[in-house]
Amino acid sequence: MNKGNNDISLSIPIVGEEEKAALREVIDSGWLSMGTKVQEFESAFAALHSQKNAVALSSCTAALHAILRAFDIGPGDEVLVPAVTFVATANAVLYVGATPVFIDIEDCQQPLLSLDDAAAKCSPKTKAVIVMHYGGYAVDVLQWRNFCDRQGIRLIEDAAHAPGVSGIGRLSDASAFSFFANKNMSTAEGGMVLSPDEKTLSAIRRLRGHGMTSDTIVRHLGHAYSYDVTMLGFNYRLDELRAAVGLVQLQHLPMWNRKRNKLAQAYRQKLAARVPSIIVPFDEGHKTSAHLMPLLLPENCRRKGVMDTLRRSGIQSSIHYPPVHLFSHYRKLFPDIALPKSEEFCRRELSLPLHPALEEIDVDRVTNCLQKALEVESGR
Ligand SMILES: Cc1ncc(COP(=O)(O)O)c(C=O)c1O
């Protein structure tokens, strides 16, 4: 199950002999920095999402930053972002000197960006919206595409939680994926950009490599002998070792996503039977990579007490997320923001373990323990 003991972790990277063999092959090849494995990984990732091309980067954060740069978003511009997300979504906006404008969620059952709130907060300065597929649960991208077309702004997907979900990465101007260790597929650290627009992809390719007109591999192969620098770029490259691991992981991703969905379904059924006072966000059947297993504890319940009880039974749990606008750094920058629905969601949210190495018997144990923890906490 996990760690060789009886503990149930929130998530674990699933890596083994295939990844070791892929790493050995790269090491034996003598070429470690960005090269043909990265290109192979990009093509395979693009194909899985029905796209022609993709650009691999060192992280999803780098991907979001590069996307905003490629769209020439900067000081004086505003970008609509969720607060129920990892801080990187909003940080990327600050990196380019633009202003993140936080949008509330629909409600606790549907903790995705509210179109109404987005419409209300759009201004002549708004240049883009970054939607985030929370927990892998797909945002209605077509609705957002129509909204952005009406407003004349860019649509960017933070798809860190949602690799391999059909329809994601196709209708937006660009989408960013993460291969961090706790994600549905991992290269330890890593990211990817998809865009249907070849010009966007080529700008991001250049931004990732110091703004240079040719890569080391291109010069090594004799296709170029020197280079120009045409923009202020970064070192956001992925390397061959990570790409080789990514290629192996990608092959398993569809099967892992299916297993996650099956486990999420089992959680829903057991939670409904055992702890009906809990809200499980999203409707059954909502398209998802089931990256997270989020739930909402009852109003009066002490979340820390529940987490402590779970931990004492060897079950890890977490919070996704503390709302970004309430972090000290953001409060200093934007002191007056109130997002009542996001704040309520984040106050009551608890994430249970979910990864493909779990079995239904683990779901049974977690939900049993949660039931007991809730009885204790409600009786206080
Ligand atoms: C929603 C979201 N966006 C962005 C990121 C940043 O990803 P990375 O760690 O690959 O930079 C994460 C990572 O946890 C995330 O969950």
Query: In terms of domains, do 122 and 165 share one?
Result: yes
Task: Name the H helices within the chain.
Answer: 17-29, 36-48, 60-70, 88-95, 115-121, 141-151, 198-208, 216-220, 240-274, 303-312, 328-333, 340-348, 360-378
Q: Is 372 a catalytic residue?
A: no
Residue 278 forms part of a structural domain? yes
Query: In terms of domains, do 61 and 170 share one?
Result: yes
Query: In terms of domains, do 240 and 258 share one?
Result: no
Classify residue 217 by burial, with Cβ atoms within 10 Å: 0-12, 13-18, 19+. middle
Query: In terms of domains, do 292 and 221 share one?
Result: no
Query: In terms of domains, do 237 and 124 share one?
Result: yes
Distance (Å) from CA 262 to ligand 1 centroid: 24
Residue 7 forms part of a structural domain? no
What sign does the dihedral 162-166-167-169 (CA atoms) show? Answer: positive
Residue with tokens 């240049």: 127
Per DSSP, the three-state class of 33 is coil
pLDDT of residue 269: 97
Task: Indicate whether residue 316 lines ligand 1 (CB < 6 A).
Answer: no
Our measurement of the distance from residue 7's CA atom to the centroid of its chain's CA atoms, rounded to an integer in Å, reads 25
Which of 37, 52, 127, 183 is an active site residue?
A: 183
Q: What is the end-to-end Cα distance of the chain in Å, rounded?
A: 33
Residue 284 forms part of a structural domain? yes
Residue 17 backbone dihedrals phi, psi, to 5 degrees: -60, -40
pLDDT of residue 380: 61
- Domain boundary among the residues 193, 218, 248 is at 248
Identify the residue whose C-alpha is closest to ligand 1 atom 16: 86
Query: In terms of domains, do 312 and 356 share one?
Result: yes
Which is the closest atom of ligand 1 to the Cα of 132? 1
Q: What is the CATH number of the domain that holds 353?
A: 3.90.1150.10
- Structure tokens given for 105: 């969620």
Task: Indicate whether residue 60 lines ligand 1 (CB < 6 A).
Answer: yes
Our measurement of the distance from residue 161's CA atom to the centroid of its chain's CA atoms, rounded to an integer in Å, reads 3
- Looking at the 3D structure of the chain, how many domains does it have? 2
Query: In terms of domains, do 215 and 157 share one?
Result: yes
Residue 322 forms part of a structural domain? yes
Distance (Å) from CA 84 to ligand 1 centroid: 13
Q: What is the CATH number of the domain that holds 109?
A: 3.40.640.10
* Diameter over CA atoms, the chain: 74
Residue 321 forms part of a structural domain? yes
Our measurement of the distance from residue 18's CA atom to the centroid of its chain's CA atoms, rounded to an integer in Å, reads 25
Identify the residue whose C-alpha is closest to ligand 1 atom 14: 86
Residue 36 forms part of a structural domain? yes
Digit-by-digit pLDDT tens for the chain (380 residues) are 444 578 999 999 999 999 999 999 999 999 999 999 999 999 999 999 999 999 999 999 999 999 999 999 999 999 999 999 999 999 999 999 999 999 999 999 999 999 999 999 999 999 999 999 999 999 999 999 999 999 999 999 999 999 999 999 999 999 999 999 999 999 999 999 999 999 999 999 999 999 998 777 777 777 777 889 999 999 999 999 999 999 999 999 999 999 999 999 999 999 999 999 999 999 999 999 999 999 999 998 999 999 999 999 999 999 999 999 999 999 999 999 999 999 999 999 999 999 999 999 999 999 999 999 999 887 66
Query: In terms of domains, do 329 and 347 share one?
Result: yes
Distance (Å) from CA 41 to ligand 1 centroid: 19
Do the beta carbons of residue 248 and residue 18 sit within 8 Å?
Answer: yes
- Domain boundary among the residues 225, 248, 271 is at 248
Query: In terms of domains, do 79 and 120 share one?
Result: yes
Query: In terms of domains, do 242 and 302 share one?
Result: no
Q: Which domain holds residue 81?
A: 17-248
d(CA 307, CA 380): 15
Identify the residue whose C-alpha is closest to ligand 1 atom 9: 180
Residue 261 forms part of a structural domain? yes
Query: In terms of domains, do 226 and 289 share one?
Result: no
Q: Which helix (H) or strand (E) holds 110?
A: strand 110-113
Do the beta carbons of residue 214 and residue 8 sit within 8 Å?
Answer: no
- Domain boundary among the residues 208, 227, 248 is at 248
pLDDT of residue 379: 63
Residue whose CB lies within 8 A of the most ligand 1 atoms, among 11, 58, 61, for a mutation test? 61
Task: Indicate whether residue 180 lines ligand 1 (CB < 6 A).
Answer: yes
Q: Are strands 191-194 and 54-57 parallel, antiparallel or unpaired?
A: antiparallel
Secondary structure (DSSP) of 259-324:
HHHHHHHHHHHHHHHH-TTSB--S-TT--B----EEEE--TT--HHHHHHHHHHTTB--B-S---G
d(CA 162, CA 257): 9
Query: In terms of domains, do 267 and 182 share one?
Result: no
Residue 10 forms part of a structural domain? no
